[in-house]
């Protein structure tokens, strides 16, 4: 059996560009982001959707919603954006 080579994704962001404040808004501290497995970090840095992660969104007025979802980061016009694909928790 041949070993499958895992294709390295081209990163479009450097690790020092990660918008930690944006991740805090979905329930991830800097330490949690830095501790993501390498494959997940590579997906983030390449601008792709990550695997499903536990996402916490503040809906305002003290209401927080916890749902699994996949984040993706983008930098557009010098602003960082986090896009989320949320799945309703069952």
The pTM of this model reads 0.72
**Rounded distance between C-alpha atoms, residue 60 and residue 47, angstroms:** 28
Instruction: Summarize pLDDT for 28-52 with one digit per residue, the tens.
Output: 999 999 999 999 999 989 989 998 8
**Rounded distance between C-alpha atoms, residue 51 and residue 72, angstroms:** 10
Nearest to 82 by CA among 32, 38, 28: 28
- Average pLDDT on 66-85 reads 87
**Tokens, residue 45:** 């840095």
């Amino acid at each position: 059996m041949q070993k499958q080579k895992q294709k390295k994704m081209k990163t479009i962001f450097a690790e020092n560009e990660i918008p930690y404040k944006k991740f805090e808004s979905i329930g991830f501290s800097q330490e949690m982001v830095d501790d993501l497995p390498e494959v997940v970090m590579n997906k983030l840095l390449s601008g792709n959707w990550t695997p499903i992660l536990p996402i916490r969104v503040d809906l305002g007025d003290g209401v927080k919603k916890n749902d699994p979802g996949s984040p993706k980061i983008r930098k557009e016009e010098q602003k960082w954006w986090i896009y989320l694909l949320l799945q309703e928790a069952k």
